[in-house]
Amino acid sequence: MNSLFTRFLRHPGQVGALCPSSRSLAIEMTRGIGMETARTVVELGPGTGAITSEIIPRLRENAGFLTVELDPGMAESLRGRFPRARVVCGSASDLPDILKASDTPCADVILSGLPWAVFPTQLQDEILDGVFAGLASGGAFATFAYIQGVILPGGIRFRRRLESLFREVSCSPIVWRNLPPAFVYRCRK
């Protein structure tokens, strides 16, 4: 069994959540970021595919869709479940190289299900710099945060980092139907 829960027990510093995002949070992630018109969409840390399932029906017919998952077992299972996605097993911190290797100069939309709160500051910064570099000008980045984290130093720092990188940063309403409740940061390059 390779559920998020069992993987969390084995690798808490990589998984960072006991259960997958709810459908409500996954839908909120796809809103207001131009998903329907994007030529290239990237998802970081798809895990069991909770957000992937809501991305795919919203994609333009000829849009490219790339996902980057660190865990080889998860990546393999995503390949079987989502033939529409090109699944790369690797680290989000290598996003610029992964895009180059995929002949994709940049993405119009990047969504992240990565567990920022458990990442060391240096890894957070590396990944965010790669996200910014990999986004087209005017492109959108969406990522979620659990509400209890926003008053913690790491959560405050993460928000400031987003605000220092992106032209616009806004927050969705809180999604209460998620364990724990969460909201989405929508950022525009």
Ligand X SMILES: C[S@@+](CC[C@H](N)C(=O)[O-])C[C@H]1O[C@@H](n2cnc3c(N)ncnc32)[C@H](O)[C@@H]1O
* Spatial CB neighbours of 180, under 8 Å, sequence gap ≥ 6: 146, 147, 148
Stretch that binds ligand X, among 69-77, 98-106, 162-170, 181-189 (CB under 6 A): 69-77
Contact indicator for 21, 113 with CB cutoff of 8 Å: yes
Please report how close the Cβ of residue 24 comes to ligand X at its closest, in angstroms. 12
> How many residues sit close enough to ligand X to count as binding (CB under 6 A)?
24
Site for ligand X in 141-170 (CB under 6 A): none
- Sole binder of ligand X in the list 33, 41, 44, 182 (CB under 6 A): 44
Based on its alpha-carbon atoms, the radius of gyration of the chain, rounded to whole angstroms, reads: 15
Stretch that binds ligand X, among 79-87, 89-97, 129-137, 166-174 (CB under 6 A): 89-97
CB atoms within 10 A of CB 64: 18
Output phi, psi for 51, to 5 deg.
-85, -35
Residue 67 binds to ligand X (criterion: CB under 6 A): no
SS3 content of the chain, % helix, strand, coil (to 5): 45, 25, 35
Residue 22 binds to ligand X (criterion: CB under 6 A): no
Calculate ∠ Cα 44-47-49, nearest 5°: 95
Residue 113 binds to ligand X (criterion: CB under 6 A): yes
Instruction: Decide whether 131 or 187 has the Cβ nearer to ligand X.
Output: 131
Nearest residue to ligand X, using CB?
A: 113
- Write out the residues near ligand X by the rule CB under 6 A: 4, 14-17, 20-21, 44-47, 50-51, 68-71, 74, 91-93, 113-115
